[in-house]
Structure 1
């Protein structure tokens, strides 16, 4: 549900905006009556409101995720990663983990058909992956609407936290530019935002697979954001 005051995307169960505290209003698409948050049916006309609940992002298969990550992996970065294969297994390393999560998916999926949403998300993934690789980070996981990236493994980086911060800044900047470009073509395009969390801590590195993903033997709280 989009806040009428600040346009922040909120859960359907919220009564007040999580960003500005304004009261959230939901209206029946059938008779335009105001619907209290959480109601499953309109009290005026009986319209089923559950059809307007927040959709789940389309999740990619494992093979699709790996293909997308490797598609944008620069050759030079691939060689650096592979050169670490025999050195990192079992090693305790200080790693910076960055999680990116798209805000605004609900508004996006309500306004466009699934094919358009998939195309838009493909472009968002391209931005995320490129901006991680620009700072020698690697994308280790992909979710339905975001990624998990590593800085400091498998490629050793003395300034991994700084690189992660610069990557996050570049992602925010590129998403803003993407919004501006897309709004020129789609006037009702909602502004997308990325929620980004960064944490640095020790991990014990496992194997580096043929898909260039790092497996961890012990992670502690490093990846718990």
Structure 2
């Protein structure tokens, strides 16, 4: 009987170990799902279908996107980012990242992965076009710009090899080339969460780890200051 019990324990341990190995391998596969480089991103964006705004508006409701991001792209709670006025190429890339599993860093991203799974590239382009057509969210209460945040946005910090935020995201947070997102009017909470994930090495969908390298050099206070700065634009 003791031998039988020991055998069961051994089998159970083996199953637990194999389950852990499978989960660990799955996590690595998710991280390596799409290895973005500047060239591969350019090809993906060049192949993006032309978006249909009217169809994107319908899909926003039909696919339940509006339940988190709002009928007009303004999230009803701070748990989700605003998408109104967001650049088409950024939204399209982000949906590709969720579908491939590259974005799988937390429970929110897992919900998004499930939501995006049935979408075609045309669906993604249509939804992205709809969001880009909407007026960007404007904060009702605007905090005064913090001098340190404005300095980071416009000049960066050469002593820490921090490039200006504006070099990718625009002086007014309007977004830039290569799917660099618009940041103006974004929820403080969503901004802080995103930057913290990059800073801690938990988010892996940036091209050549550019955002991870940038965020790793910022203090938590600077991240909060930048979040307030961009929300107020």
| TM-score normalised according to structure 1 size | 0.25
Higher helix share: 2
